[in-house]
Amino acid sequence: MPVMTTNIKGQLNPVRIFCDFDGTISTKDIGYDLFDRYGEQTPWHDDLVDERIGIREYWLGVVGTLTHILTDHLLDEYLRTIPIDNGFAELLQLVRDHNVPFTVLSDGLSIYLHRFLTLNGYDDLEIVCNEAWNDDEGKLQVRFSHAADGCECPSTVCKRNVVLTRSAPDERIIYIGDGSSDFCPAECADVIFAKGNLAAYCNKNGLPHHSWKHLAEVVKELEKILTRRRIRPRRQAELARKRVWESG
């Protein structure tokens, strides 16, 4: 069962944690670097940044530029060159000690994400991401199973909807991330750990958050939250969740 924390009325509330992958768990944005190395980012990345195309068009574009088949052997050789954040093992141990549900939530592709975590000894995590596989001819195929019609998130995985559909109304949501795909789910989180573009977004939009550079810093603060602090619902997050639920 999830860890229970006491709110201001003395009642108990469960906690649920969602964590981004690229640049958060991995120390490099694998989703970008992989296709930059074995494919071509131009003009797709520039068009995405300049908002001439959406994230779905970007993914389909760069996937089509691959000059190598992403075999297990190729992926293993490549992924072993990318370190995992040194604090990730400690983070997982902490959430397991407190029996907190933990979900890796990524706009990346399963073909590299699952393999990276498995290579690092983590093959039992709940992961939500885009599906990707090689067809019989070795061509990479992608399925955006977690996209949402009408969603304005810069992500083919609607992270906000994943967070809300996997969280009970009385749960306190903790979110850890670093990029633009994390903006929408952070709006709905009671506790936010942010760096990079997500931290800039939080500062710009007045979202209270804990800044971090390495996951060890998250662990240090999260341990306090889970063991000693009362986790109050963030009012703006409650309103954001309510708007989404009421809109259907």
Q: pLDDT for 138-190, tens place per residue?
A: 999 999 999 887 677 778 999 999 999 999 888 999 999 999 999 999 999 99
Name the band, by pLDDT with cuts 50, 70 and 90, for residue 1.
very low
Q: pLDDT digit string (tens) for 177-232?
A: 999 999 999 999 999 999 999 999 999 999 999 999 999 999 999 999 998 657 88
Report how far residue 144's alpha carbon sits from residue 175's, in angstroms, rounded to the nearest whole number.
22
Of 179, 221, 176, which is closest to residue 196 (Cα–Cα)?
A: 179
Interval 238-244 mean pLDDT:
86
Distance CA 70, CA 112 (A): 9
> Residue 238 and residue 200: Cα distance in Å, rounded?
22
% of the chain with per-residue pLDDT over 70: 93
Amino acid 150: pLDDT: 67
- CA–CA distance, 153 with 122 (Å, rounded to integer): 28
What is the predicted pLDDT for the residue at 2? Answer: 52
For the whole prediction, is pTM greater than 0.75?
yes
Task: Reduce the DSSP state of residue 221 to 3 states and report it.
Answer: helix
d(CA 89, CA 120): 10
Pick the CATH number of 4-26+85-243 from 3.40.50.1000, 3.30.565.10, 3.40.50.300, 3.50.30.30: 3.40.50.1000
Grade residue 41 by pLDDT with cuts at 50, 70 and 90: very high
What pLDDT was estimated at residue 189? 97
79 has pLDDT over 80: yes
187 Cβ partners below 8 Å, 6+ apart? 160, 207, 236, 237, 240
Q: Band of the pLDDT at 240, cuts 50, 70, 90?
A: confident
| Mean pLDDT of all residues in 81-85 | 98
